[in-house]
Each structure stands twice: as C-alpha cells, then as structure tokens.
Structure 1
Amino acid sequence: MKRFYFLVVTIFMVTLSFGQTDVFINEIHYDNNGAVSNEGVEIAGPSGTDLNGWTIEFYNGNNSMVYETIILSGIIPIEENSRGTLWFLQEGIQDGPDGIALIDGLGNVIQFLSYEGIFTAADGTANGMLSTDIGVSEDNSVLVGESIQLTGTGTYYNDFSWASAATATEGLKNNSQTFSTAPAIISNNYLVSDLDYEVGSGPSIEGVFVVSGANLTADISINAPSNFEISETSGGFFSASVTLLKGAGTTISPTTIYVRLKSGLSIGSYNQNVICSSADAVSKSSLLSGIVSPNVGSIIITEIMQDPNAVGDAAGEYFEVYNTTASDIDMQGWVISEVGLESHTIASSVIVPANGYAVFARDADTLLNGGFTVDYQFTGFSLANTNDEIILTSGATEIDRVVYSDILGYPLIAGKSMELSLGAYDSVANNAGSNWGVATTTYGDGDFGTPGAENIFTLSVVKNQIKDFVMYPNPVSNGVLFMTSNNNTNKQVEIYALTGQQVFSKKLLTQEHLNVSKLNKGIYLIRIEEEGKVATRKLVVN
C-alpha cells in the first residue's frame, strides 16, 4: 500500500559497510490479498539486546527518499540458544521497489535491504548507500497472515536465506529457522557522553556502560581509545584495558565498566569508540564523548545590541565576544542559552582570534541586519529588550554569563548597544551593570555600536581612594615609575592594556620603584591597591 510521507532524518554517524551482524531484520510483511493487515518488521539478535534508540527507516525506491521512520524499543527475549526476536507493527509499508534500513543507537546503518529491486538512497541515514535486494517479495496473492522471512540454521544474518511468503511468526523465530549456539557480547550503552572538564582540571567525571556475555569460549577484552581510560571500580585504578573473565563457564554476568576522559588533554572535543571483543563473537562498541573546555573567562561577552532601532529585533540583534587569551579559540559545539528555554548549539567553526572579537547575530545579511558583519548567525535564541541573560557554555563548563536589566544598572537604550568598559574585560566585571555604557559610534544604517571592534566606552580611569597618592613621571620614558602616598606601605600593582588584558603584576615593597621597561610603547590602565584602598590611573609609556 503506497503512502507518501517524507521525513529527513539526520544522524551523525554512518557506516558504509555492514559486515557480520548478529542483530538483523528477520521478517517483513507489507502486502497481501484484500485489505493489507499486520504490516511490520521483525528484528532478531542476542537475547538481552536493548533496542531502545534503534530506528528503522522506510525508503521509497521510486525517489530514493525516506517516507517513514519508527523508533524501536524493547529488549530481545530468549527464544533459543540465547537468541530471540521482537516484532514492530508498522501500517502503511509501501510496495516495492522499496527499502528498509536498520540503524543502531549510534546512528550506524546495520542493514539497508530492499525488495522488488535495488536503488541508492538519496536521503536519510543510508544516504548514498546501495540497497541489497532480498530476492523475495509480496503481492496481492499473499494470504492474510503470511510474511516473507529468513530460514535456515545459524547465528548471524549471512547464515540465513530469505524465503517466499509463509505463515507469519511475528515475535517468534521463523518457520524452518534454528538459532545456533554462538558466543555473544551484550553492551547496550551505545553512547557515554558528558565526560567533560575545564582544561587543566582533568580527569572528567566517570561515566558507565554495562557489558555481559553468553555462550562464550573466551574472556571479554575491553579496550579504551587513546584519550579515555576504564576501570571495573568507581574511583579505582583506571587503565587502557579491562579483561572480564568467564572462568569455567560460558557466561559473564552484567558488569559495570567505569570510564573517564584522561587528564592533561588539550582544549577540544573527543569522540572515540571503546571496543568489547571475545573470540568468535561480534565485537560491540560504545561511543565515548567528552569535551575539554577553555578556562572560565577565556571568552567574555563585551557588547550587546538587544533593541536595534534602524531594523527590527529579528534582524538587528547581536552580541559580541572577546578572547582574553593568547591563543585562538574555536567555539564550535558551544551552547548559547538563557535561564529559560531558549538555546542554540553553535553548529560550525567560529574561530575567535587571540585577543580578538567575534560577532553573533540573529541575521548575517548586512542588507537586512542594519549593516554590520557577522561571524555566526544563530537561531532559537533572542535578546529581550529589558531583561535577559546570555550564557556561554562549553561542555559542562560555563565560560561566561551576563544578566542584564535596567534594574541592575545596565544602560538599555533603543538603537544603542551596550558596551563593556575596556577596563572591565573579565568574566566577573562584565556581569555588573556599572561596567557597561552606551555606544557612541554609529554603524551601517545609523544604530550605535562597534560590533567586531574595540569598544569606545571606558570608565573613568581615575580613582583616588589612596590618600595623597602620587605616581610619576607620567608619561614615563626611562622605564622607571615612582609612587608615593600618605602611608607609603606595600602596594599591589597591576597594569592592563586597553583591551583589558593584564600585562603586568607586582607587589611593591615600601618606597620601591616600578620597572616598566619591558612594556611596549602605548597607553595602559594601572591599578594600585594599598591597605584595601584602590587608585587607578592612565599610564603612558614612551
């Protein structure tokens, strides 16, 4: 029965060859005389296999597109020699030439079978794959209550042969089918994720997966990929491999394996498979996924346009970030979110250069957004005019957060962005409304802001909490700077570039002079703290 539904399914991992599989399509029914009934697909495999997260995609052979997808569930029961079947009812399976793809919990195409002809999928998880014709089919001569099914003796798909329609055996082994005794590994945790940590603070928290075995002739060897490590004990000794001993029997009971992302790794995303293997058994794998995030405050929010005036909000909203480190940072995979429901995962590479800027906006078209250049266009996230949050997260690490509101002292004016003061370029100071000011430079169609460029707004650099504080000479030409005050006690001195990067820090003893000869010529902000009191100045180095 032909039904035309089109569904694009995107899954991140595809395998291009099927190899030997112990989980497979075992029975199909899609046509019979009269009104078609009980259409569906049966899956066979080792008992205990959890099909939650597996899917079946149905393909129309005439256009090679997916027309229906079903999400599987349930655990394969024991029917014979630690093997069994599960039946999945699906009304409306089309006549051929059509195809069926079986996809595991990681998005791997396990099988791509077809009936009444072959074709190459142009859609779905099997996109680009050539189907394998099973060689039998159904038509309106098939009796109600019959199906096409695998027959023979064996354990794996290739051990059996497809037979013409016979009495259906939904949820049971087929007519003339015998499941042989064969080793099997069961591992149902297809993905172990969120094994994250902030760079320099590893290893990650522990994740787990469970492994068991039946009809084994040898132990199960579990080998971790290069960037992960495993253990049979939480908090115990972690290593590159674990061996589960079968002893004198043929069975290994379900065993929890603990896994974590190794310490000492560089910033980046890590996705690798852990492999479970045993002699004569089909190896099973779980995808391990972790992120080593940059340090908190490595990327900070420095400008927000929440209420454009020249164009509408959907076109003109943006925010700007700044890289406070000396290395480029790629924000791909980071999440932009708020306290509420809105969020967006950055889907492509966004390189924020060392001590440089990147602009994120709702619309990247300069003809529509008010006339500014965008590094990344996001969806599913917007900026409220009066109060909202921007939260940047890498893996489990919150890198920066700004919560803005007029009640909190943020300067919310239509058509003018909020700019972070050049002297407040860190992830603590940028979450205080007093450190933000109104943009005074126009761009594009007339709104005010400096998207992608250094902010113009700077707080007053003069603060005089230290009594009778004097700093001289300023400008300084010979690299020696002197400071005096009423108390003349020890002082903590910090010097910042106008970008906000700290370039110098020293504790001065009483009446000690400051050597700034290694600073490049330019203008700096200098902060002096003495006995809990603070003085700030602009410093010119010639």
Structure 2
Amino acid sequence: SPLPPSLSIANATVTEGNSGTTQIRFEVTRSGSGSGEASADYTVNFGSANAADFGSSSAFVGRVTLVDGEWVDVITLDVLGDTDVEPDEDFTITLSNANMGTQIGTATATGTILNDDVAPAPIANVFVNELHYDNAGGDVNEAIEVAGVAGTDLSGWRIVLYNGNGGVAYAATGGSANGIALSGIIPDQNNGFGTLSFPAPGIQNGAPDGFALVDNLGRVVQFLSYEGTFTATNGPAAGLTSTDIGVAQDGDAIGTSLQLTGTGSNYEDFVWAPAQTSTNAAVNTGQSFLSPNAPGELRILDTSVVEGDAGTRNLVFTVRRAGASSLTTTVDYTINLDGSASAADLGSGAVLAGTLTFAPGVSTQQIVVPVQGETLPELNETLSVTLANAVNATIIDGEAVGTITNDDPVDLAIYTIQGLGHRSEYVGQTVVTRGIVTAVDANGYYLQDATGDGDTRTSDAVFVFTNGAPGRAVGDAVEVRGTVAEFLPGNNTTNLTITQINQSAATLVSTGNALPAATLISAGPGGVLPPSAVFEDDNFQVYDPENDAADFYESLEGMRVTIAAPLVT
C-alpha cells in the first residue's frame, strides 16, 4: 500500500536589506502519497526577532494547503529592512492540525534574518586645537590647526567653512566649498599626541561664522563657531547648530591666535584662550597632553533636568577621564542631598552611592539620578555629587551641582527676578510676571513694574525676548510667562550679562497705560548719582552700586531714566 501523505517544513534565511521589505520563504514539502489534499496549520513563534521586524502584510498564523498532485508549497513573510547594527535574529514556524490522512514529518523550521549592517569605524580622537581668522590690518596667515592621537592618518578629512549669515558653506580663497582638504599623519609631539596646521585663507571674520571638521567617512566630528552660533543649511553639517568656542579675535596682533590650553587628551578637557603667540603645528602654550599609560585626570560636570509633571526624568552627571586610556580607572561617587532637593524629589530606587569603572579606551561615564515629576510651583532645587577614592587617576574636579529645574511657573515681581546679584537667582526658572511695556525692539520688549520696590539696588525692569516681532506697543500691560536667562551680548568676554525672560506665553491685560515714573540720574537732590571712578574692581563678586559703575548700570537694566542736564556731556 502507498505511504500516507506527510508534510515537512524546511529552515529559511534572508538578508534583511536597508529599507523596504524582503521575503523569507519556507518550503513545505509533501512526501508519500501525492493523491488528495494535504494541509496543516502554521504558527510563527518569535525568538530574538519580533513583530516589528516584519511587514504589516505578514500573517503569523495561517494554513498551508497542497492540492492533489502538488508536492511543494511556500509560506512567505515580509521582513523589514533597516540600518540598525544588530545581531542576526531568529524565529520559528511550526506545523500542526494536519487534515485527516495527512501526517506531519518535520514540524518546526527556524527562520534567520541576517544582519547586513556593519558598525562604522569609531571616530578618531581628532579635534580643532588652534584658530586664527582676524588680525589688525589685512588678515595674514589665517589657519586652523587640529590635534589628535599620534599616527592618525588625516587623508580624506576636511574642514568645511560656514557663513553664519544663512548657514551656507563657502570656499577658502582659491579653494572649494567642499572644504579644505586635510592630509598627513599626526606626529608624536607630546605623550602620544600631536598637531597639524592647515592654511585657511579668506576665512570670514565672524559675528558669527564657523567651520565643520569632517572625517574620512563624511561624519561631522565638530561644528564650531566664533562670535555667536548659527545653524548650517547645507553641506555635511546641514541641520546642526554650531557650538561657540567662547573667545574671539577682533584685530588681534599679527602672529597671535586662539588656542586650547590645559591638560588632557580630548577636546572637552581643554579650554579656549584668547590671543596668544601662534604655535602652528606644535603643542600650544599652556597645553599638555596626558599619556595613555599613566594615571589620568577625572572631572565631573554640573548638569540640570526639567522635572516634568509626572513619572521620572533622569538627572545625568557626566564624569570625564583625561589620559590613562590604556588603563582601567575606578572612582567612587556619592549623591549629597545638601541643597534644596530632598529624597522626596527623587524617583523610587534612586541609588545615592556607587563606583564608576572606566575600561581601556573609555573616556566618559554617567551617574544617573531619577527625578520625580510634580505640578507644585516651586523654586529650582539642587543636589550635589562628590567623587572619591580614584584608582589610576587624580580627581581634578570632584564636585558637581545638579539642578532640578521647575517647569511649573512661579509668580514673581520683576524686581525679585532681577535681585541684588549680578546674575538672577532664578536663571532657568519658569516664572510669571507682569508690568508695563516701555519700549519695543525687533526681537522683544522692555517690561517695567508699574510701581517698583523703591530699592535703587534692584532693577524694576527686564527685557522680554520673543525671538521675533513681539506684537506689543508702548503702554501695554502684559502678563508674561517664560524662563529666566542671562544674555551675554555681542563679543563681550566679561561676566557682565543682561538678565532677560525668554517668553513662552504672554497675555495682554490692557492698553494705553501710563508709563512708570522714570528714575532720575542727577548730581542734584532727589536724583541717583552714578559712580565716576571705578567701573569694576571685584571680578563681579560684590554688588556695590555706590562704588561700582558696573553694578550701577546693571541696577537700571531696561528701566526708564531721566538724565539731568549737568550730567549730559
């Protein structure tokens, strides 16, 4: 007698691709008798693959049927392509519930989705180290220097110059908008690190301008700017916002440049210094690189997080290691509730102490503190972290402050926001305040308390930044909601900032109001006499408007003033 029909399913594989869908095909084969129908149910069971790896038309349950005389049928599933670097993924298909008279031979087959995405090579430790773009008279010897690990081949790397007015890439004199081509192998000038300098003739003079350092795979390693920030609109940095280096040149002496100084082995370990004698293609003055084979240096950075209204958000502290890249470094940390934050402000399960381990080649680690969201209007809260007991490293900066930024607005008068200090106590705080519009600018307006607090040491006015046409008129009474910030105007390299409110919402209360009374600046009776000798003599540490002109003018930020005739010169 002929054998009864039997169904078996075979394993299958497919390479996923980068987009769209690709079919994975499982053959179901009949053996024995070829007469009559042979059918069975099938079920997909997920392993390391899951439903998100398949197209929407894929059926994870169904029935396969081989009609009379048919020996092979196919079950197909649509696999989604992606560019994720991941292991191969698998799943199974199982046959069951065959029709009467049909047996099941091999009941289960394994499907394998083969990953075809390769992890890109890590970005080399190369960074911009020195810059010269503007000097007194005609610009000469304009150049950009890079530093990095000795032996790094810069073939294929480039520096793309960007115009901050429009964010468009432009060409160096005689060059291409594709960038300044870099070349050469970085020499060993100091503990396994070195520098190479490249001419940048015609580099623009800022307010702002910048450049992107691009590696040989087209990845933007750095997007830096000077005299402000901007967003690139084309080229490799398209869509990225630049990072201002914080120092600038404005007719500096010929032969000087802006340079990174300090001790370390990564860009973040150093700080930019203003004009000093150029050291093109050499380690900068005041710069020292740390050996990968000797104990390194540890620094922890301040951080902040907006608390949210519910659930938890992470307050993340970053600890950086400079040097010792071939060693294993450990350091203990402790979370201290020594500020205004308490245990109730943290999420359940918050770990307040532990040990960080830097494996060879690792330069950063994170300390994560969960913060509990709430809707209570309150001031920003702080806590701190301290590092101790480092192995294979010296702790250079072992304390950091974490700020839990309240996002529920606190109702404060303008003069309270301004306060007595050089900087507002409420920076980063969401506030609600109100006043009369006294002047309108292109990107904001000045708002002054209608009555003030009568204290000449505080300002009763503040600038409200709207980042566009404010839609306000002098005499409007306005209630403003926004975030308190300190603005550093222009190319100001001092610490004298201007307190402002970055508006998020505003309500027009009334129009045509009388303006607040102006403050009289006068040598005569009833007036405020400004200091005449000292502008700033305490590095902005002590607020003393009677003896410090910087404090005096800060106390009048945005206010209406009347200057008596004898003082006008």
TM exceeding 0.5: no
TM-score under structure 2 normalisation?
Answer: 0.30
Q: What is the TM-score of this pair, normalised by structure 1?
A: 0.31
